[in-house]
Structure 1
Amino acid sequence: MTRNPILPGFNPDPSIVRVGDDYYIATSTFEWFPGVQIHHSRDLANWELVARPLVRARQLDMRGDPDGCGVWAPCLSHDGARFHLIYTDVKRYGRTTVGGASGASLRDFHNYLVTCETIAGEWSDPIHLNSSGFDPSLFHDEDGRKWLLNMLWDHRPGRNRFAGIVLQEYSPAERRLIGERLNIFPGTALGLTEAPHLYRRDGWYHLLTAEGGTGWNHAVTMARSRSLTGPYELHPDIHILSSRTRPDAPLQRAGHADLVETPAGEPWLVYLCGRPLPNRGRCVLGRETAIQPMRWGEDGWLYTLGEPGLPMRDVPGPEGRRPADTRADFDDPALPIDFQWLRTPEPEAILSLGARPGHLRLYGRESIGSLFTQALVARRQQAFCYSASCLLEFAPRHFQQAAGLVAYYNASKFHYLHVSHDEEVGRHLRVMSALPDSPQADAFTAPVAIPEGPVELRAEVDYERLRFAWRVPSGDWQWLAEQFDASILSDEASAPGLPNFTGAFVGMACQDLSGAGLPADFDWFAYRERDFSPRGSAA
C-alpha cells in the first residue's frame, strides 16, 4: 500500500500532469524562493523533488510580499510539445486592523505563464495574463485552442468576494488573453469557490473546483457541461471529496484537487490535506499532498473508491520509500535542493557557498521576519518528530549581531536559538520566540554564556514539543531548561484575518542590524526524521 500524504510537509495546491510514463506534481511555495516545487514519479507512490523553475528576478521577485503571499497555486500542463506553468504572485492580501478584522478588500493577484521543453530546463520569461483573481489554470482543448480559468475576486461592498470561475481564451501567437471573459460557474452554497481545473471526456467538459476555504470545511466540487462555456450542472453528490463532516478522518482539510489518468486510463486524484497534531489539533506540517484512485461511474461522473467522498490514508500501490537522513556539508557550488530562502531573487546578497569552501556563509542582513532581505535558509519539516543540528562559527561583537538555528513559520511564529554578544554576558546564546497566540508578541530566554569558537546547535521536535541544546564540538550536549510550543508553527495558530497557508521549516539564519553585514559560517546541517522520543536522540 501507498500511505498518504505522498508529499509530506508544506506542499499544497497540487497540480499533476503525465507525459508518457512520467508524472509531475507542482505545488505552491508562497514567500519561499525559488518559486514552485515540482516532484517527479513513475509509480505515483515515490516522488523526487526535481525542479524549482522560478529562479530569476524577471520571473519572480517577492521582496515586500507579506507573509502568506507570493506564489499561490501553480498549474502545470503539457500540450504535446512544451510544459506550461501558470502561477500567481500575490502582492497584497489585505491589511489587518485591531482585533484581527480585515481592513481591506483590495488584493493584488498577478497571474503569469512560463514555458519550457523540459521540466529541469531554463524556463521562459513570464507573460503577464491578468490580475483578476487567483488559482489560474490552463486548459488545452482538443481543437488546439487554449483557455485560462481563474477564480474572480470582487472587492465591492456587499458582494461575494469569491465571485465565480471565469474563462478566457489565451492566444500563444499573440502571447495574451483574447476575447471576452466569461463567468462559467458561480459555485455552490458552500462558497469560497476557487482552484478550477477543466478536463474533456466523452463529449463532456468536467470542471473541478475547491470550495469551503482551505481549512476544516475544504471540499472538492465537480460540475460538467456539453459546452465549454456552460451551463455547468452539478455532480449528484455536489462535493466528490471532503473530510469536513468527518473529524475522525486522519486526513483533514481535503480539497484543491487535480485529476490525471494513467496510460491505461485509470483516473487518480491529487489533493491537499492536513494532519492535525493528536493533542493540539494544529497542522504543523502545513497543507500536504495526497493521492487516491477514482472511478468513472456508468453515469459518466467521477467517484471515489471505498467510502464515498472520503480521503484515503492508504491506497493501492507500491510502498513508498522512507525518507533518508539528510546531511548537507556544503561542499558543492549549489545549495542542496531541499533548502529555500525567503523572497529575494538575489541569493548572492544573503549567502555564499564559495566565500569559504565547505561552508554555507550567511551574511548578516535584516531582522528575522523581514519582508525584504533576510538571510534565512531552511528546509521543510516533513514529520511530526525530527532532529536537526548544525555547526556554527560566528564571532558577534555586539547585541545587534546574531546567528543560529531556527524553527520558523513566518515573521510572527518562530523559535530562534541564536548566538549573540552583549556587554554584560559576552558571547552567549538564547532563544527568541515570536508568539502568535500570546499577549506577549515575543519572548526571550535568559542568556547562556558560551566560549569562543565553533558551537553545535540542536533542535528536537516531538509533535507539539520543541527542545534546544548546544555543545562545543565533541563535548556533552547542554540542554536548555525551557520547553517550547512547536504547535505555533502552524496555520491554525494565528489571529483571525491573517494569511496562514504554509508550514513549518527548520534552518539557519543570520542578522546584523548594525548594517555591517557580519557573516556566519555553517560547516554542516543535518536533519533526521525519527520516532517519538521523550527527549529525542542525537541528530
Structure 2
Amino acid sequence: MSNAPQKIRNPILPGFNPDPSICRVGDDYYIATSTFEWYPGVQIHHSKDLKNWRLVTRPLNRPEQLDMRGNPDSCGIWAPCLTYADGLFWLVYTDVKRYDGSFKDTHNYIVTAPEIDGPWSDPVYTNSSGFDPSLYHDDDGRKWHLNMIWDHRVGYNSFAGIALQEFDPVANKLTGPIRNIFEGTPLGLTEGPHLYKRDGWYYLLTAEGGTAYTHAVTLARSRRIEGPYEVHPEEHVVTARFDPDNPVQRAGHGDIVETQSGETYLVHLMGRPRLGQNRCQMGRETAIQKCVWGEDGWLRLAAGGLAPEEEVTGPDLPSHPFAEEPVRHDFDGPELPLVFQWLRTPYPERLFSLRERPGHLRLYGRESIGSFFEQSLVARRQTAYNYEVETLVDFLPENAQQTAGLIAYYGRYQFYYLAIAWREGMGRVLTIHACPGDYPGAFLTAPLDAPVSLAEIGPVAMKVTVEDMALRFWYRMDGEDWQRIGPAFDATLLADESGRGAHANFTGAFVGMHAMDVSGQALPADFDYFSYRNL
C-alpha cells in the first residue's frame, strides 16, 4: 500500500548536475548527468520515489573508458544517455575535445553493465558527427543511435539536425544509412535527442534554444522512425523563457519516464539565478515535472502551460529517503568519498593518496591552477546559495612555486584560493590568489596588500563562507580564534554566466582542496578533514 503523493521541490539534484537522462528498472529510478572535465565521468543517482536521490556511481573511471587530459574547460562528458534493455544498462556519452570557434571535436561511445554499479565495459566507439548521443531500443529488437549533427561551415546552421542510424550490438558498430530526421523548430539550436514509442507513434524529444534563458524542451512525432516528424501543437513541453520571474530558469534538455502505475514525469535541466541577477552559481541542475498525455496524443505539463514548477506533485509511490551525506569527512578510509571529484586525469594516484599518511588526504603538488593536464584539485559541488567549508592543511613550502590550501573554483578563469605559500624574507605565509573571470588571460589578482606570516611549522585551519553573494576566507592556528583574511569577494562570479561571457561555460561552482608545485618536485600537502555545510 503506497502513501499519498508527496510534493517534490526542485531541483531534485542540486548543484552542477545538467543534461539529465532517466530510466526505470523495476522499482528503481536512475538519472545520469553530465560531468564535463570532472573525473570520474558521468554522475548516476538512484531513487525509489522520484523525490529522494542518492549518488551511487560514476562509471567512467579508468583510462580505457575516459582520458580527458588536455580537454579545455567545459569540454569532456556532455549529455550522457542511460537506458536499460536486454539485461544490461547502456550508457552513451560524448567526450568533447574542442568546443570553441567553428569546430566541435565530439567523439561518441557506448558502455554497458549488468548492474548500475558495474562492472562497466570498455567503450565502443560510434561516431564523431555531433554531440548528445542517445540509444533507442525498439520493440522489434533493433537499436537506433541518435545525435545532433554539427556543421562547421560558414553560412550554414551549426545545429544541423538530428542524425539517426542503426546500431548493431553484435558487430558493435553503426550500420546502414544515416538520416537527418529532424531539423528543429524556428527556436533553433536543436540538440539532446531522445526517442520513445507510444500507441504506434515515435516521439522525439529534443532540447532547443541553447542552454541559457531561452532553453526549451521540444516534442515531435512520426508513425515511422525515420520521419517525417510533426511538431507538438505548442512546439514545446516546457520552457521558462516567457516567465523571467520564475525561480526555475533555463528549463530544457529533458527526458521522460513512466512510473509503475503509468504516471509520466519529465526530468530536465534548470538553473537558479540569484534574484535580479542572471548568474547561476550552482550551474545547471536537474528538475522534475509531472506530465499528462492528452486525448490528442501529445504530452503536456500536468499543471498546464509551459512554465516549469518549483514544486510538483510526486508519484503514487512510498516515500524512500536515504541517509544524508556526512557534513565532515575525516579521510579515514582507503577510498576517496564519492562526493569528491578531480579534474581530467584517469591516473589519480599522481594527484592524491589516502594511504601515505593515514587519516589524511595527501595531495601531491602538480601543475598550475587551471592546467588542462595534471592539477591536484579534489573538490565537491556547491549545492546551495550559502555554505560554510572548513579544512585543516599541513604544508611546508620550500619556494614560491609551491602552494596548498582551500579553493572556491569554477574553472581556470574563475577561482578564489586561500593558500599556504612561501615568501622571500618571510618564509611560510598565507596568501590569496584570485582570478575573478579574466578571460582569456587568466591573470591573477593580488587581493592582499601583503601576505600573512605563519609559524614555521604546524597545520593551518582554513574556512570559506558564502553568504548573500559574499565569499569570505578565514584561518586559525592551533588554539587561536578564527581570523578574517582578505576582502569579501563576489561569489556570483563563480557562475556559468561569468568568465567567457554569457553561457560560454557549462559546469558549476566547486569548493575543495588544492596543491600546486610548478617547480616539478611534487611537494605533498596533507589535509586532515573537510567539512561542508549548507547555511
Q: TM-score range by the shorter chain?
A: over 0.9
Contact 2:269/2:286 (<8 A) preserved: yes
Matched, 1:141 2:138: yes
User: How far apart, CA to CA, are the structure 2 residues paired with 1:497 and 1:210?
Assistant: 19
Matched, 1:313 2:310: yes
User: Which amino acid in structure 2 is aligned with residue 111 of structure 1?
Assistant: N
Judging changes above 3 Å, is the alpha-carbon distance between structure 1 residues 485 and 331 closer, same or farther for their aligned structure 2 residues? same
Structure 2 distance, partners of 1:422, 1:279, is 42
User: Which of 92, 105, 110 is the equivalent residue of 1:108?
Assistant: 105
**Matching of residue 70 in structure 1 with residue 70 in structure 2:** no
The secondary structure found in structure 2 opposite 1:470 is: strand
Q: Distance in 2 between matches of 1:133 and 1:285?
A: 27
Secondary structure at 1:487's aligned position in 2?
helix
1:11 is aligned to 2:8? no
Query: 2:32 — aligned with what?
Result: 26
Give 1:211 deviation, angstroms: 0.3
Deviation track 1:387-420 (CA, whole Å, cap 9, x = no partner) reads 0010100000111000000000000000000000
Displacement of 1:2: 1.3
Cα distance between partner residues in 1 of 2:188 and 2:499:
23
Which residue pairs with 1:208 in the alignment? Answer: 205
One-letter identity of the residue aligned with 2:498 = A
Match of 1:417 in 2: 418
Find 1:442's aligned residue among 441, 444, 462. Answer: 444
1:289 alignment counterpart:
286
- Distance across 1 between alignment mates of 2:257 and 2:502: 34
What is the identity, as a one-letter code, of the residue corresponding to 2:234? D
Q: Please, which moves more after superposition, 313-322 or 81-90?
A: 313-322
Aligned to 2:4: none
| Aligned-residue identity in percent | 58
- The answer to whether the 8 Å contact 1:435/1:441 transfers is no
**Secondary structure in structure 1 of the residue aligned to 2:153:** coil
What residue in structure 2 maps to residue 59 of structure 1? 65
Shifted more, 24-33 versus 317-326: the winner is 317-326
User: Would you say 1:354 and 2:355 are equivalent positions?
Assistant: yes
Q: CA deviation at 1:115?
A: 0.2
Q: Give the corresponding residue for 2:41.
A: 35
1:497 CA drift (Å)? 8.3
Partner of 1:337: 338
**What CA distance in whole angstroms lies between the structure 1 residues aligned with 2:422 and 2:191?**
49
Which residue is equivalent to 2:522? 517
Query: 1:468 Cα shift?
Result: 0.3
Match for 1:492 among 490, 497, 507? 497
Report if the CA contact (8 A) 2:496-2:503 is conserved: no
Contact 1:425/1:447 (8 A) holds in 2: no
**SS of corresponding position for 1:46:** coil
**What are the Cα deviations for residues 5-31 of structure 1, in whole angstroms up to 9, with x where unaligned?**
000000000000000000000000000
Superposition deviation, residue 348 in structure 1: 0.4
Provide the rounded CA distance (Å) in 1 between the counterparts of 2:276 and 2:434: 21
Q: State the one-letter code of the partner of 2:149.
A: L
- 2:262 is paired with a residue whose SS is coil
Q: Deviations over 1:457-484 (max 9, x none)?
A: 0000114210000001332001114111
Q: 2:429 — aligned with what? A: 428
Structure-2 residue corresponding to 1:46: 52
Question: Following the alignment from structure 2 to structure 1, what is the Cα–Cα distance between the partners of residues 58 and 52?
Answer: 18
1:180-213 superposed Cα distances (whole Å, 9 cap, x missing partner): 1000001011010000000000000000000000
Change (3 A) 1:280 1:463: farther
Query: Are the counterparts in 1 of residues 214 and 241 from structure 2 also a CA contact under 8 Å?
Result: yes
**1:252 and 2:249 aligned:** yes
In 2: Cα distance, 1:132 partner to 1:57 partner? 23
Deviation at 1:278, TM superposition (A): 2.1
- Residue 77 of structure 2 aligns with an amino acid whose one-letter code is V
SS of 2:445's equivalent in the other structure is strand
CA deviations 1:250-282 (Å, max 9, x no partner) are: 100000000000011111000000000125331
Worse-matched range after superposition: 44-53 or 469-478: 469-478
Q: What secondary structure sits across from 2:492 in the alignment?
A: helix
Q: Secondary structure at the match of 1:372?
A: coil
* Stretch of structure 1 that moved more, 475-484 or 313-322: 313-322
Letter in 2 for 1:423: E
Residues 376 and 514, structure 2, Cα contact 8 Å, conserved in 1: yes
- CA-based RMSD of the aligned residues comes to 1.5
Q: Which residue identity is paired with 2:97?
A: K
- For 1:231 and 1:321, the matched residues in 2 are separated by 44
Task: Specify the code of the residue in structure 2 equivalent to 1:443.
Answer: T
How many pairs were matched up? 521
Output one character per residue of 1:269-315: Cα deviation in whole Å (capped at 9) or x when no partner.
Answer: 00000000125331001100000110000001000011411111011
How many angstroms apart in 2 are the aligned matches of 1:309 and 1:319? 29
Q: Give the conservation status (yes or no) of the 8 Å contact 2:412–2:442.
A: no
Q: Indicate if the aligned counterparts of 2:436 and 2:499 stay in contact, CA closer than 8 A.
A: no
Residue 484 of structure 2 corresponds to which residue in structure 1?
A: 479
Q: Which amino acid aligns with 1:15?
A: S
Deviations 1:486-537 (A, max 9, x none): 111101012348840000000000011111110000010000111xxxxxxx
> Contact (CA 8 Å) 2:414, 2:438: kept in 1 or not?
no
Q: Which runs of 5+ in 1 are unaligned?
A: 95-103, 531-539
Partner Cα separation in structure 1 for residue 304 and residue 165 of structure 2: 37
Structure 2: distance between partners of 1:205 and 1:22: 25
Q: CA deviation at 1:431?
A: 1.0
Q: Structure 2 vs 1, CA of residues 437 and 281 (structure 1 numbering), >3 Å: closer, same or farther?
A: farther
Q: 1:485 Cα shift?
A: 1.0
- Normalised by the length of structure 2, the TM-score is 0.95
Distance 1:263 1:80, change over 3 A: farther
Instruction: Show the counterpart of 2:466.
Output: 461
Q: Distance in 1 between matches of 2:152 and 2:139?
A: 35
Displacement after TM superposition at 1:319 (Å): 9.8
